[in-house]
């Protein structure tokens, strides 16, 4: 049975969390760490941009500052996410340690997605991994149908975790030099009107109606963070057959994370004076 290091939920700024995922990825690549499943909270709330997504024209930076919301950049691709009232977690693993990982991002996404489906169903949420490959016959990928909206949850990609046709988890993955990093956002509840203040072209009413669903709505009850973490961990054990051993960052991982934070910083409310 494969052993994964489980790092329980911890508070921190978005830049640190992005850098920490990369620091762990580097440790795995160097053979200094095995697979990791880690959970984290955003202090303060944060908008993350996809690796190649510009802030200008997509995120209202001045309004984010006034609302006390940081803006950071992810090492993974995709679109912007407002991280607030959610459960966030990353999986970092060498390709060779993930059975059936296949040769590309979609293959590994399907394998990891099975664990998330298992965990969500333990919470009473009828989640499913919807692969639209069979429905794409050329042209742009499905995610491009909402090309004007900068938010991740406004777009449906080729493979998504869905509940009755609505997206429930936003995931982005980097797969390079033999190591997989997948970052995941599971909203507990969503302040949709806040999107209007954070994103340009948010179209939040349409997203609320048709595009996404948060966990509390899908489950029909308020689910505590610790219950979510427990269910997702059980999903990994069941679907992937892994053993989770609680741990923390190594001293080198933490040192390297703080060294990297500047690479993921876009705007920090701690460094602004709006008088």
> Cβ distance 92 to 183 under 8 Å?
no
The answer to whether 171 touches 161, Cβ cutoff 8 Å, is: yes
pLDDT at 47: 97
Active-site option among 46, 64, 152, 233:
152
Each residue's pLDDT tens digit in the chain (275 positions)?
A: 799 999 999 999 999 999 999 999 999 999 999 999 999 999 999 999 999 999 999 999 999 999 999 999 999 999 999 999 999 999 999 999 998 887 788 889 999 999 999 999 999 999 999 886 644 433 334 443 455 777 787 776 777 899 999 999 999 999 889 999 999 999 999 998 898 899 998 887 888 777 899 999 999 999 999 999 999 999 999 999 999 999 999 999 999 999 999 999 999 987 654 43
- Give per-residue burial for 228-257: e unless 16+ CB within 10 Å, then b: bbebbbebbbebbebebeeeebeeebeebb
Check residue 246 and give its pLDDT: 98
Domain that holds residue 150: 2-271
Question: What's the CATH number where 222 sits?
Answer: 3.30.930.10
pLDDT at residue 55 in the model: 95
> If you count them, how many residues does the chain have?
275
The number of distinct structural domains making up the chain is: 1
Question: For helices 251-260 and 14-29, what crossing angle results, to 10°?
Answer: 130
- Any catalytic annotation for residue 159? no
């Amino acid at each position: 049975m494969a052993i994964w290091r489980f790092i329980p939920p911890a508070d921190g700024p978005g830049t640190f969390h992005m850098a920490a995922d990369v620091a762990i990825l580097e440790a795995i690549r160097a053979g200094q760490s095995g697979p990791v499943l880690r959970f984290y909270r955003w202090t303060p709330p944060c908008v993350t941009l996809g690796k190649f997504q510009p802030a200008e024209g997509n995120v209202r930076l001045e309004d984010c500052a006034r609302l006390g919301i940081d803006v950071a950049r992810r090492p993974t691709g995709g679109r912007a996410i407002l991280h607030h009232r959610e459960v966030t977690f990353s999986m970092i693993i060498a390709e060779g340690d993930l059975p059936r990982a296949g040769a590309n991002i979609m293959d590994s996404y399907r394998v990891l997605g099975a664990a998330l489906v298992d965990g969500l169903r333990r919470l009473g949420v009828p989640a499913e991994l919807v692969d639209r490959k069979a429905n794409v016959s050329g042209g742009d990928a499905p995610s491009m149908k909402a090309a004007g909206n900068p938010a991740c949850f406004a777009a449906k990609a080729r493979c998504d975790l869905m509940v009755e046709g609505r997206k429930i988890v936003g995931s982005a993955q980097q797969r390079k030099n033999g190591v997989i990093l997948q970052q995941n956002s599971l909203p507990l509840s969503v302040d949709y009107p806040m999107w209007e203040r954070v994103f340009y072209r948010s179209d939040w009413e349409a997203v609320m109606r048709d595009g996404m669903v948060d966990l509390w709505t899908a489950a029909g009850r308020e689910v505590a963070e610790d219950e979510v973490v427990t269910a997702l961990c059980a999903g990994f054990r069941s679907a992937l057959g892994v053993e989770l051993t609680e741990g923390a960052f190594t001293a080198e991982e933490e040192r390297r994370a703080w060294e990297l934070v500047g690479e993921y910083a876009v705007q920090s409310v701690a460094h602004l004076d709006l008088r």
